[in-house]
Amino acid sequence: MKKGKGFTIVEMILIITALNMLAAVIIPVFSRARAGLSQASCAGNLQRLGLSLQMYAQDYDQCLPLLYFTDNNGTSYLWSELTPYTIHLHWPTPEPYQQAGADFMRCPCEVPQGVIPTGATGWVGSYSWTYACNWYNIFGNLTSNTPLNKSALINRVPTTVWLLADTCSNYYGFAYNPKNWPLTYDTDGDGIPDSFQPAGSRIGGYNGLAMVHRGGANFLFPDGRVQWVSKADWLANKNNMWGDITPGIYQYAYSTVRPGRSN
């Protein structure tokens, strides 16, 4: 019985070359597909959070929650204020902002659940979310600093101004508005200022946002729309997406008693 003829060296070289060419075509396609799935999953997360914000606003005279505040009931944070409106969205525990495992609070492109970055001690955001709110002309916080004692009325915020977006600092839970904190440092080396703090700071580039999706990020807007925005358009404040920082233009001024909440 004759043995089958093996491949010659030339044939092997041709086969390997063909496989390499095929891999060069297929691998980028799969990479783009995977990136697209991550971006779509992230957009779904933000849409669900947008729904919870809308429900919260309906219960609190159109007012958005504060980033954090302290009153006679203790200290509360934006994400814990949303807890009653997100239980139906499959939170794993009654107090999800303190727990790892809330899948839709974490962008698929961010660090694994439960991983707390170095230096994150004391920030509740380190436990569950990788999305940031637009601070502080949209989401304020109740402190002794009067200009911060405000959050926006959702029906006053133009639909071109962002509410939530991807963040590079999952222990903060907010991003700095460039109109208050001007972009003076180039953190990504492209020659364009993109942050108010230098590279290597806790804030990172883009004043705390993360351009993790195809050179841009997903943004949630007041009408519930989630849209991908390129880094260039965000830096250019396209459609005034940063919002107006004129005092009181969007906000309801809080005291220690918030609408719908007894002190």
pLDDT tens per residue across span 197-238:
888 777 767 988 888 888 899 999 999 999 999 999 999 999
Residue 236: the pLDDT is 96
- Provide the terminal-to-terminal Cα distance of the chain, rounded to the nearest Å: 95
Q: Which residues are registered as beta bridge partners of 68? A: 77, 141
Nearest to 152 by CA among 239, 221, 105, 70: 221
Average pLDDT over residues 101-125: 50
Residue 36: the pLDDT is 66
User: Which residue is listed with tokens 């020659």?
Assistant: 191
- Distance, CA of 221 to CA of 71 (rounded, Å): 29
Residue 4: the pLDDT is 56
Average pLDDT over residues 6-11: 75
pTM check: above 0.95: no
Q: How confident is the model at residue 91 (pLDDT cuts 50, 70, 90)?
A: very low
Q: Ranked by mean pLDDT, which of 75-79, 107-111, 160-164, 195-199 comes out on top?
A: 160-164
Name the residue with higher pLDDT: 67 or 234.
234
H or E segment to which residue 157 belongs? none
Indicate the average pLDDT of the chain: 74
